[in-house]
Chain A
């Protein structure tokens, strides 16, 4: 069994998640080759074949061209699986490759169970195992689900080329908004989720944060709705935090939120839904309405 792993590269750097692909291939028990649209200096440190195309020539984000390069590598390698990280790069490119191969795609794999691929359903409240019916299959793995393999080894580089004409024009990157608070240094973070209901209720959570000497955090919908500044957002598209104490108030525990806070030393979740996925990572789950419980707790600190 052979797997072709598609590395990620951004702003001139190989992304560390590329080594999660290696870990996945090892768990799968597959022989591996890798493909990178990047630079020789940033080639992954692995033993084995790495197909390399130059990002200077093909661009870092240019999915219709990257698709052709990955297809060319597939042609040379003839793998059973083509594997991406389920990231903004992977979920964008994987379905294009799958459609061209007319191959099954299985998205955001969290585990391999009896040779079948396990994925989440309904915000991870259920699990599903999926099997491909096509000869080849395209897979994307959940970021963080397979701990990165060590970067050690010497790649054998094989240059790869493709037609570089693109229907899409990449204009450029826009950096993250400036931070007015650095959550990465906070020892206590009390975060507000959509469960707080409305903007007017955010001060209830902020008051607890203040009473405990911590910072206010937030889940994404709270930020998108403009209830809290983006700099307070915790998660894949926000900040990754690791405080001594993290309190999630009315947050369901979606993977993108967990990715930003699950390294916290101690996690308390306050949620009216006893089955909320946040319960899986919480050291203490308080089953309650946040708007009733949080003021009661705040009073204990004052």
Chain B
């Protein structure tokens, strides 16, 4: 009879484990304050022609922060459909377009901005969106000091001149129309209705929360906001679901089966397959995120400009792009295509003869003393690893040994702030669609460098960087030329950095989706309102 007791043991163990986990007694899933789905009859039947749900597959959890003031993470893919800013960036025209503001002007050399607000816009809470409400929202975002709130650093005062006029006075000139189009920290919301727990939304956007279940596969569902100022057409998607699927092959299978509509990221092999699969369409666009190989200009062997130039010439740019199989495009300068300031004709090329010559000048090379360089890059990043492997084998032939160390971002950054390496590999992307971000953060002198990890210190370059915002705000043509000039100085003259590639977004969608445009200013965001379903 002994096995009965053994069975009892196993049973008791399981029960104990179950009891330990049983905590959620009596809650309705999606409950705990999360709004319950409304009966489908709550919307007028005439607008329900497209009653299918658009299913978006992200690889990571969707929401970590519901507060539109401090949100600074993956939830941009949902919040961009719930909240709106004064403007939205158009990556084709490279300009800000009307959203909650219909028109705007700047005065006093870009230090004064006046926005005319769209009339008749209601928040999801029912309150009216007017200048006073917009002022309160931006002021709250600034006060919270979270996420990307720094984008408003230039703002001195905000004034609600009348119900539809919002006036900003700035401390220094800034292209505020671009700032206002940021995907982070630029939302206009009803400050009295903000709920950090995601029970309600306080935006003006086309969608509101239908259900939110943290940790579940279908983490978040959105539904159409009936009172949206843009109105609704029958063919638009009224329901959206975010189905978190970390495993890429699983996401691909779901798409092939038609269970989901949009996969945010596939690997290059699957993306290639997707291009030839029936009922699947693909889209790819260069992002605003590029890889920077920063050379230590302050100390060590790379202090010698010739060594830095040799390293630039040693990188196998074309080989790298080929090996990345479409997930990256060749960079031309520091500013990715689609942003004001993008320089054409600056595509780098490998030139080993030049590299060897420059190294020989500096006293290193095959018949000269060996050069040892330390490099740090992101642990687990296969693309960066590829760059390092290719560079390392090329340099070996030039009698240069690359001591490459994969590190976590935190550790790498800590080391970088202490000037602990010769070469620092990292990505950069702007928070709002403006090239200024690369220059002010990465290449402007600083006593204690945060991101200036080439430790470049050049008064002329600093002065040119400081002049960029005002130029962008007042004379875009001149700003464009200033950007081009700066890139030549930083990349060619100073050789502080090499830019091997710009990352490419590769998406796969079901072929019944129409109207999809990948806007790199809003990373991984699908503006569901702009889509329709082919009948």
- Asked if A pairs with B, the answer is no
Interface residues of B, Cβ cutoff 8 Å to A: none
A: residues with CB less than 8 A from B are none
